Amino acid sequence: MARKPKIYGGSTKGDGSKKKRRVSGKDNLGKLMRAHRDLEDLLYGYSSRADFVYDDMDFSIEEFSDMTGADLEELLEDIDEIVRKR
């Protein structure tokens, strides 16, 4: 009969306090914009051209950061705040 491993200081079950998944740089901006309408205003602030931000964008957050010159970490934090509000 196999022995059960000793557990020191708690149980093997999770406590349910996991954070929601953070938005990654690989996520598609078009999908995020369709799901979170507040994101459009944020992206307009990062982009100097108004025609650059639209619902059918087909590029990632990293690509948007490269095109606009925005700081990727700051952009990810701002997008993550909006996504978590929902």
Q: Domain locations in the chain?
A: 29-85
Please report, for the chain, how many H helices and E strands are present, in that order. 4, 0
Higher-pLDDT residue of 70 and 52 is 70
CA 82 → CA 14, 26, 42, 60, 85, distances in Å? 27, 17, 9, 17, 5
Alpha-carbon gap, residue 2 to 23, rounded angstroms: 42
pLDDT higher than threshold 60 for residue 10? no
pTM (2 decimals)? 0.68
